[in-house]
Structure 1
Amino acid sequence: MSQKRRTFLKSLGLAGFGLTLSTDLLQAKPAVPAKGKDLSVISIKGRVQAQGKGLAGVAVSDGINVTQTDAKGNYELASNATADFVRVSVPRGYAFTNDKGIARFYKKIEPANGRFRADFELEKLQQDDSKHNFIVWADPQMISEADAEQLKTVSAPDTQQLVKSYGPDALFHGFGCGDLVWDKFELFDDYKEAVSTTSIPFFQVIGNHDMDLDARTDDLSARTFKELFGPTYYSFNRGEVHYVVLDDVFFIGVSKKYIGYITEQQLAWLEQDLALVKPGTTVVVNLHIPAYTRQHIRSNEKEESMGGVVANRKELYRLLSPYKAHIMSGHTHFNEKIVTGDNLVEHVHGTVCGAWWTGPICYDGTPNGYGVYEVTGGEVKWYYKSVGHPKQHQMRVYPVGAVPEMPQQLAVNVWNWDPAWKVEWLEDGKRMGEMQRQTGLDPLSVELHLGAQKPAKHKWVEPHSTDHLFFAKPSAAAQRITIQVTDRFNTVFKEEVDMKELSRL
């Protein structure tokens, strides 16, 4: 036996068999032949009804094709064994069926003899839903029981109180906008417990930390998520708004490696879904990885991060172009608004967990919190709700010199700013005009996060540049400074500071 041959057999643990080992054994045939992909045809039928009466024109899908119910509420889909759920796109005027707050709008496909029946019973709302509200929780991202306690005992009760402040008749729903946990699937129960505390139904978005990291392909990476929350992409309606959830986290088969990408199957489904929506309608899309952010520009990087934006977002934009669209995302742990023309606003949300539960802020200085959206007809208004603060808390003022690059100027972080906002300042009651916006590091983030030893819980967290910092140079004699911020909806927020007290901070 040659040395090369002996070494090879030894590496297989078979050297003792010598030359008597058969060629068949070396070829390592599987004991059971591999099965091909099941593409068998499945006929799916069912009925969508409320109080025994069929509902016409309701969209139903298997995730591949979309159909509508007939005049009696019946539908039929020619599907196949690759489809996993039948989902109903709940029409306006109907409640969201849920299990302790977790929305249940789907049925798992379990065919018998090539057939499956899925009926949906809906409950009609007792009020007009043209006026309603929703919240976006980005990245609860728990990795420990301590993180889970923070979500359950601080963030969720804050959300519940916010909902209560709107009165008992207000309609609310929520989105868990991905990274519901941080690869620790046992903490999904804590997420569900937190959702139940809010007293409103939640729809879930899959994030990169919600995927099965032992999957060999993206197709198999949502196994656990689907078992708990159903399909990863779907739609529903409330009032005059059409809501969509997409899965834009594409797992590339290596643990914790992914790109921002929307598959062809989803885009083909979305095209069918939106074909049933009247042009000009407000459409709200929820996904985890932002379609786009300007973070690479702020960080002076030549290229966008493949895991930080959606690579094929142009097709998403094209499909949304006939509508008044909003895209909701998380993932980044900073807050950013991107307004494109008259029809598209991208909302990149600061996170519920802030900088991974290390303190009170994200690494751009945005407080731990969530987005709140108020809908009237097709119009959407919004604000950012900081956990533990009143809704009027929309800025943080820093003393002169807090930003070293601007040694003679005071700074203000206005985290939910967009180009329609106005940030002005007054010195001892005298209007001084608008403050100057400039990219930089939030001083509190620098204090809490900068350096190899900070924060102690996750030492890799560092401050990130933000473009919602504003600066003004007060005179030496200034005693009181007032910051007046007017958002795009003409809501005015004010902060008045004593220069002597501010300088001590």
Structure 2
Amino acid sequence: MVGLLTILALLPGVPQPPMASGTVFEDLDRDGVRDAGEPGIPRVRVSNGEQIVSTDRDGRWRLPYDDDTIFFVIKPAGWMTPVDENNLPKFYRIHKPNGSPRLRYGGVAPTGPLPASIDFPLYRRPEGLRFSAILLGDTQTRDIREVGYLREDILDHLVGTDALFGMTLGDLVFDDLDVLGPYKEAVGRVGIPWYNVLGNHDMNYDAEGDEHSDETFERHFGPSTYSFDVGHVHFVVLDNVYWTVISEGRRSYVGGLSDEQFHFLEADLRGVPADRLVVLTMHIPIPSMREGDRKRLLGILSKHPHTLSVSAHTHTQEHVFLKEEDGFTGPVPHHHVINVTASGSWWQGSPDERGVPHTTMRDGAPNGWSVFRFDGNRYEIDFYPASRPATWQMNIEVRDRLKRSDEDWNVFYVNVFAGSERSTVRYRLDREGPWEEMEHVRRPDPWYARLYERDRSLTAPYRPLPAPSDSTHLWEGRLPESLKTGAHLLEVETTDMFGRTFRSYRSFTVEN
């Protein structure tokens, strides 16, 4: 709706839209209220979802609005907004005097008229240029039982982290938006500020169009497109799940952005210094967005020398490097991460001793989370498997007993869970043989294929695994035909795109 205000403001003789105003101030006592002696903060950016202004020397700002506007402050580096009882950042003010339209899961209640001044409190927070953030893909809890899985398999292991914040990359729940309340309570117990991205399973499916497809999300989390700064990194959260009519009146989603979102992104990035890292977070991977929006987005990103983007959605893990043929014309390919999902294969698969499904993803990688470690405008990414040692970075698939009479008896596979086309993988035998390079292949992981067959007969409350998909982080090797009969040790070493090396071992026996 704000997009219309931009058009009206440019037309001579047309009455100008109403203006909202307020202050960004230093909340010295952190009570959320501006008290005497609490100064305004200059040069802080504030948005109405499309336009952006900077506060003046007294911390004041003014922006146009209509009856469906969310104002928010763009958190500057070295400052923090308040958080609520579930550690959700409070950085916005919703203005919907008539409330949301009638929807199954409800939206925002009528907010009434705007106050005379919309004030955003900030307090100082030391951040530094080196910090980390936890990113979860698709927690996707369909009910209270699965919220319990999420707590036990993922969230309880994050308590005590030194990460400055966490973020879930969409599909927080699985269609039942009443589960958003328990989800918020669960992530809130981690104890750090937690941001959220809208996913296709977090939408109001009974909305007539995209404009009202995020009303329940807004009630819980505020705007679905926004940004903030930490250190020398500028984060932009994009709702790229576009709800639309796709055929004969049938509604569904596509990967895309509205013109208003593009206007916000362009205005936002104009205020980001060239030496900063721009990180876009979203739900649907950029390669899966509709072509025009994908190219428009990558064209905007191409103007910035330091970029990274992260999505989820596919329930696989992948590193994609977007080049000129994809629409990115920057000096080096754009790194797009399809993040590991917390729910793995939608909380499916046979249960472990705790009753939690193993929920291995269909590319053969375990469910888990990522820790993004930033240093200025540089970054590294650590993969953490759920409820497993952090050192478990690959799975070596070789049979325990190899018979020479079997077809392809000497073929084995290594799934490097966070591997990419920039990874190298090699092996040697018995800690003394020469290192041999392995071949990067794209095919289903044979180990996962066996899990899939094993779990096909599961019954409620557990569910069979999804069918295998091609893995983008699988390597194939062949043991020497002349390998002696008896016991051997297979040693595998991988070096990732950041130059870090990991090793794993697997023993086996060769029989005649």
Q: Could you say whether these structures have the same fold, taking a TM-score greater than 0.5 normalized by the shorter chain as the test?
A: yes
Q: Which residue is equivalent to 2:471?
A: 466
Secondary structure in 2 matching 1:180: coil
Whole-angstrom distance in 2 between the partners of 1:406 and 1:347: 34
Whole-angstrom distance in 2 between the partners of 1:347 and 1:97: 29
Q: Which residue is equivalent to 1:382?
A: 381
Q: TM-score, normalised by structure 2?
A: 0.81
Label 1:119 to 1:232 Cα distance change in 2 as closer, same or farther (>3 A). same
Query: 1:457-501 CA distances to partner (integer Å, 9 max, x unpaired)?
Result: 445721111121111111332711100111222221111111239
| % same residue | 28
Whole-angstrom distance in 2 between the partners of 1:188 and 1:365: 29
Deviation at 1:45, TM superposition (A): 0.5
Deviation at 1:200, TM superposition (A): 1.1
Q: Which residue is equivalent to 1:433?
A: 436
Q: Which residue is equivalent to 1:176?
A: 168
Q: Which residue is equivalent to 1:72?
A: 58
Whole-angstrom distance in 2 between the partners of 1:116 and 1:354: 47
Instruction: Give 2:506's aligned amino acid.
Output: V
Query: 1:312-365 CA distances to partner (integer Å, 9 max, x unpaired)?
Result: 211111111132111110100000001246252101012100101013211111
Find out whether 1:263 has 2:258 as its counterpart.
yes
Whole-angstrom distance in 1 between the partners of 2:463 and 2:394: 26
Find out whether 1:217 has 2:248 as its counterpart.
no
- Length, aligned pairs only: 442
Q: Which residue is equivalent to 1:151?
A: 150
Q: Which residue is equivalent to 1:204?
A: 196
Label 1:331 to 1:255 Cα distance change in 2 as closer, same or farther (>3 A). farther
For the Cα contact (< 8 Å) 2:82–2:122, is it kept in 1?
A: yes
Label 1:405 to 1:471 Cα distance change in 2 as closer, same or farther (>3 A). farther
Aligned partner (choices 408, 418, 421) of residue 419 of structure 1: 421
Whole-angstrom distance in 1 between the partners of 2:387 and 2:163: 23
Find out whether 1:348 has 2:338 as its counterpart.
yes
Q: What RMSD over aligned residues (CA atoms) do the two structures have, in Å?
A: 2.6
Q: Which residue is equivalent to 1:243?
A: 235
Find out whether 1:54 has 2:45 as its counterpart.
no
Instruction: Give 1:90's aligned amino acid.
Output: K
Find out whether 1:315 has 2:296 as its counterpart.
yes
Q: Which residue is equivalent to 2:282?
A: 287
Deviation at 1:258, TM superposition (A): 1.0
Q: Which residue is equivalent to 1:447?
A: 450
Stretch moving more, 129-138 or 223-232? 129-138
Whole-angstrom distance in 2 between the partners of 1:469 and 1:256: 37
Segments of 4+ moved more than 6 angstroms: 37-40, 111-115
Secondary structure in 2 matching 1:444: helix
For the Cα contact (< 8 Å) 1:401–1:409, is it kept in 2?
A: no
Deviation at 1:53, TM superposition (A): 2.0
Q: Following superposition of structure 1 onto structure 2, how do residues 130-145 of structure 1 map, counting pairs within 5 Å?
A: 130-145=129-144
Aligned partner (choices 44, 67, 71) of residue 81 of structure 1: 67
Whole-angstrom distance in 1 between the partners of 2:51 and 2:192: 30
For the Cα contact (< 8 Å) 2:165–2:193, is it kept in 1?
A: yes
Deviation at 1:450, TM superposition (A): 4.5
Whole-angstrom distance in 1 between the partners of 2:278 and 2:116: 31
- Structure 2's unaligned 5+ residue stretches are 9-15, 29-37, 98-111, 323-330, 350-357
Secondary structure in 1 matching 2:18: strand
Q: Which residue is equivalent to 2:348?
A: 358
Instruction: Give 2:343's aligned amino acid.
Output: C
Label 1:401 to 1:264 Cα distance change in 2 as closer, same or farther (>3 A). farther
For the Cα contact (< 8 Å) 1:248–1:289, is it kept in 2?
A: yes
Secondary structure in 2 matching 1:463: coil
Instruction: Give 1:443's aligned amino acid.
Output: P
| Bigger radius of gyration | 1
For the Cα contact (< 8 Å) 1:93–1:124, is it kept in 2?
A: yes
Q: Which residue is equivalent to 1:188?
A: 180
Find out whether 1:489 has 2:498 as its counterpart.
yes
Q: Which residue is equivalent to 1:325?
A: 307
Secondary structure in 2 matching 1:272: helix
Secondary structure in 1 matching 2:476: strand
Deviation at 1:203, TM superposition (A): 0.8
Instruction: Give 1:472's aligned amino acid.
Output: G
For the Cα contact (< 8 Å) 1:262–1:310, is it kept in 2?
A: no
Deviation at 1:194, TM superposition (A): 1.7
Q: TM-score, normalised by structure 1?
A: 0.82
Label 1:454 to 1:317 Cα distance change in 2 as closer, same or farther (>3 A). farther
Secondary structure in 2 matching 1:147: helix
For the Cα contact (< 8 Å) 2:142–2:175, is it kept in 1?
A: yes
Label 1:113 to 1:366 Cα distance change in 2 as closer, same or farther (>3 A). closer
Instruction: Give 2:279's aligned amino acid.
Output: V
- Structure 1's unaligned 5+ residue stretches are 1-36, 164-169, 293-307
Find out whether 1:41 has 2:17 as its counterpart.
yes
